[in-house]
Chains A and B, each alone.
Chain A
Amino acid sequence: MKPLRIALTKGRLEKTTIELLEKIGYNCDEVKNKGRRLILPIGNNDFEVVLAKAADVITYVEHGVCDLGVVGKDTILENGSSFYELLDLGFGKCRFALATKKGTDFYIGYNTKTIATKYPNVTRAFFDDKDMDVRIIKIEGSVELAPLVGLADGIVDIVETGSTLKANGLEVIEWVCDISARLIANTASLKLRKAEIEELQKKLEAVTK
């Protein structure tokens, strides 16, 4: 039987996940000394780890070429489709927020508001819930710039400490939702390899609580 293949979001989520896997007793030396390799064995070939960009983790899991994935809730909300979301891993915590220039009243007036964001789907869903029609502009880099130069009335973005907002004279006026790292599973894999996946899930659950 092939080892279970887990897709990890490169960077901070990857490091914390590896720490968790070590905590529950798997040898992760190969991943720590990965060099340029993208597929790495874990433990005694118990698992295989694949390193990918956040949105790609979802793609690999959805298509079933990876059985499991660790990815931020932000990516799931923006790209989500069909897979199982098994576990809130409790790290990589931050929040989506709606922010505007300090001292402005965002909700005043009849004009349609313009929102700059890297997360158009999250933004759309948030304002849909409010029955509010907004104009959404997708920005790739620092979203904080948009309201400062007058492109947008507000931004929807990930906020961790709030210091970037503060430094640019912006303030959070509403929290959209909480974000943290999640363990996701391909729908077919969970059915075909139930025992193995559940074992790992239980172990991870025990160390994240």
Chain B
Amino acid sequence: MKKNLKMTPEGTKDFLFAECSAMDYICSSIEKVFVKGGFKRVITPALEFYDVFSIPSSGISQESMFKTTDNKGRLLVARPDSTLPIARMVSTRLKNNTLPVRLYYKQAVYRNNPSLAGRRNEFLQMGVELLGAKGKRADLEILTSAIKSISAVADDFRIELGHAEVFNALSKELDIDDDYKEKIRVSIESKNYSALNNLLDKLEPCKTVSAIRSLPSLFGGEEVFADAYDICKGTGAEKALDYLHSIYKELSVLELGNKLIIDLGLVQRNDYYTGIVFTGYINGIGDAVISGGRYDDLLSEFDAPMGAAGFAIDTDAITMKHLSDDNVNYSDNPDVLVFAEDGHEMKALKYVDELNEKGIKAQFSVLETLEETEQFAKSRGIAKVETV
């Protein structure tokens, strides 16, 4: 049998040198925003019980989780997400804490993606959770934190904002079963106008049906609200729309211009989100790098009902994009290589420290001779060799 001795599993990779430096830079830029906002770091285990992720609204499919068992035969998974473990933790360890709590995380998540699609099965995510608070203030804080985080690492970005209740309220007014509702939701999510029309044509025409028909096209700037009010007038979506509009107006002081988009067709994981939902995109990355929103029902699943909102950032994707930018240079070369003559090793080591303290990147040569040291410096492109 051939051993898989020299390769990593599909969807995983080693990170070397510049990749690590770039990742550190991206993570610390985001971390600064989190810490300034008063969010405290938590770490949850990489392995969790399957049950944590199998709650009805989790939206994480069984197929996408890596599974194993513990020594009692109970099913474990490599965490596919950090929010659910944090909800578990808050509902137990922090249940007597004064609310709200602000938490942030920086840890890998694991997803078993279809093979050979070039997707990552392990990737680092950072995110925040604001638990035990509902309402506009909490929503505004989460949104501005997301905007600050993405601005800290990119200039050309878009944040799109929607509300889970727009679709949920409308679909409740229709006499359809859950399967049919899900089909409609999927076609809105993928902006699949032809499939959506086919589904809606089978229903009795009414105000609600025509409102749902327009959802995927209702995205853009503030002008969306005028259209949306026309279309949703008299339906259950009006309340959510009013709320969304007030949030949008508050955010206008940030002068984001066209970087802030309204998208009423934002309906992903609609069983999970209960209020605002948002995603963030960065020019040059083909997938969303931020996703988040309000999920007030989640903590009830863990018998600790409370308001909750948060978002996750795909820091891996941002790091790779950052590395491909032309002006980025993570040279790991020292400025000076210090060679010690026999008997002067400790003195040379001290000299290295002194140089480093002055801000000159110095490194101690562990090679036996000056010739070897000079050769090494030459092949690595280190400009200077000093002898002590």
Which A residues are closer than 8 A to B by beta carbons?
59, 62-65, 81-88, 182, 185-192, 194
Asked if B281 and A85 make an inter-chain contact with CB atoms under 8 angstroms apart, the answer reads no
Q: List 15 A-B contacts (CB under 8 A).
A: A62-B117, A63-B286, A64-B285, A64-B286, A82-B287, A85-B190, A85-B195, A88-B194, A186-B286, A187-B286, A187-B287, A189-B286, A191-B160, A191-B219, A192-B158
**What residues on A are CB-neighbors of B194 within 8 Å?**
85, 87-88, 182
Asked if B281 and A188 make an inter-chain contact with CB atoms under 8 angstroms apart, the answer reads yes
B:190-221 near A, CB below 8 Å: 190-195, 219-220
Given contacts A59-B117, A192-B156, 16 further A-B contacts (CB under 8 A): A59-B118, A62-B286, A63-B118, A63-B286, A82-B190, A85-B190, A86-B191, A87-B193, A87-B194, A88-B194, A185-B191, A187-B281, A188-B282, A188-B287, A190-B191, A194-B219
Residue of A nearest to B116 (CB): A59
Q: Which of A86, A87, A182, A188 makes the CB contact (< 8 A) with B286? A: A188
Q: Residue B246 at the A interface, CB < 8 A? A: no
Please measure, in the bound complex, the distance between the C-alpha atom of A187 and the C-alpha atom of B219, giving whole angstroms.
Answer: 13
Please measure, in the bound complex, the distance between the C-alpha atom of A63 and the C-alpha atom of B261, giving whole angstroms.
Answer: 22
Q: Residue B288 at the A interface, CB < 8 A? A: yes
Q: Residue B283 at the A interface, CB < 8 A? A: yes
Q: Which of A59, A81, A85, A88 makes the CB contact (< 8 A) with B191? A: A85
Please measure, in the bound complex, the distance between the C-alpha atom of A151 and the C-alpha atom of B191, giving whole angstroms.
Answer: 40
Residue of A nearest to B281 (CB): A188
**What residues on A are CB-neighbors of B160 within 8 Å?**
191
Residue of B nearest to A63 (CB): B286
B:163-200 near A, CB below 8 Å: 190-195
**What residues on A are CB-neighbors of B261 within 8 Å?**
191, 194
Asked if A194 and B220 make an inter-chain contact with CB atoms under 8 angstroms apart, the answer reads yes
Interface centre among B156, B190, B219, B288 (most CB of A within 10 A): B190
Chain A interface helix/strand/loop/mixed: mixed
Asked if A188 and B192 make an inter-chain contact with CB atoms under 8 angstroms apart, the answer reads no
**What residues on A are CB-neighbors of B286 within 8 Å?**
62-65, 186-189
Please measure, in the bound complex, the distance between the C-alpha atom of A182 and the C-alpha atom of B195, giving whole angstroms.
Answer: 11
Residue of B nearest to A180 (CB): B194
Residue of A nearest to B289 (CB): A188
| 4 cross-chain pairs, A with B, having the tightest CB-CB distances, nearest first | A64-B286, A84-B191, A85-B192, A88-B194
B:313-338 near A, CB below 8 Å: none
Asked if B193 and A192 make an inter-chain contact with CB atoms under 8 angstroms apart, the answer reads no
Please measure, in the bound complex, the distance between the C-alpha atom of A83 and the C-alpha atom of B283, giving whole angstroms.
Answer: 16
Residue of A nearest to B191 (CB): A84
Please measure, in the bound complex, the distance between the C-alpha atom of A141 and the C-alpha atom of B195, giving whole angstroms.
Answer: 30
**What residues on A are CB-neighbors of B287 within 8 Å?**
64, 82, 187-188
**What residues on B are CB-neighbors of A189 within 8 Å?**
286
Binary CB contact string for chain B from 270 to 285 against chain A (1 if under 8 A, 0 otherwise): 0000000000011101
**What residues on A are CB-neighbors of B118 within 8 Å?**
59, 63
Binary CB contact string for chain B from 247 to 285 against chain A (1 if under 8 A, 0 otherwise): 000000000000001010000000000000000011101
Asked if B190 and A84 make an inter-chain contact with CB atoms under 8 angstroms apart, the answer reads yes
A55 to chain B, nearest CB (A): 11
A37 to chain B, nearest CB (A): 24
Residue of B nearest to A89 (CB): B194
**What residues on B are CB-neighbors of A87 within 8 Å?**
193-194
Please measure, in the bound complex, the distance between the C-alpha atom of A192 and the C-alpha atom of B160, giving whole angstroms.
Answer: 10
Please measure, in the bound complex, the distance between the C-alpha atom of A86 and the C-alpha atom of B187, giving whole angstroms.
Answer: 10
Binary CB contact string for chain B from 30 to 59 against chain A (1 if under 8 A, 0 otherwise): 000000000000000000000000000000
Q: Known A59-B117, A191-B160, A194-B220; judge A83-B285 contact (CB<8 A).
A: no
Please measure, in the bound complex, the distance between the C-alpha atom of A82 and the C-alpha atom of B281, giving whole angstroms.
Answer: 15
B171 to chain A, nearest CB (A): 20
Residue of B nearest to A58 (CB): B117
Please measure, in the bound complex, the distance between the C-alpha atom of A82 and the C-alpha atom of B190, giving whole angstroms.
Answer: 7
Please measure, in the bound complex, the distance between the C-alpha atom of A88 and the C-alpha atom of B198, giving whole angstroms.
Answer: 12
A70 to chain B, nearest CB (A): 14
Please measure, in the bound complex, the distance between the C-alpha atom of A84 and the C-alpha atom of B265, giving whole angstroms.
Answer: 11
Please measure, in the bound complex, the distance between the C-alpha atom of A205 and the C-alpha atom of B192, giving whole angstroms.
Answer: 14
**What residues on B are CB-neighbors of A82 within 8 Å?**
190, 287
Binary CB contact string for chain B from 127 to 167 against chain A (1 if under 8 A, 0 otherwise): 00000000000000000000000000000101010000000
Asked if B190 and A83 make an inter-chain contact with CB atoms under 8 angstroms apart, the answer reads yes
B84 to chain A, nearest CB (A): 21
Please measure, in the bound complex, the distance between the C-alpha atom of A82 and the C-alpha atom of B279, giving whole angstroms.
Answer: 15
B293 to chain A, nearest CB (A): 16
Residue of B nearest to A61 (CB): B286
Please measure, in the bound complex, the distance between the C-alpha atom of A63 and the C-alpha atom of B285, giving whole angstroms.
Answer: 8
Please measure, in the bound complex, the distance between the C-alpha atom of A59 and the C-alpha atom of B158, giving whole angstroms.
Answer: 23
Interface centre among B192, B193, B195, B285 (most CB of A within 10 A): B192
Residue of A nearest to B221 (CB): A194
B310 to chain A, nearest CB (A): 21
Residue of B nearest to A205 (CB): B193
Please measure, in the bound complex, the distance between the C-alpha atom of A26 and the C-alpha atom of B287, giving whole angstroms.
Answer: 29
Please measure, in the bound complex, the distance between the C-alpha atom of A190 and the C-alpha atom of B191, giving whole angstroms.
Answer: 10
Asked if A188 and B117 make an inter-chain contact with CB atoms under 8 angstroms apart, the answer reads no
**What residues on B are CB-neighbors of A62 within 8 Å?**
117, 286
Please measure, in the bound complex, the distance between the C-alpha atom of A185 and the C-alpha atom of B219, giving whole angstroms.
Answer: 15
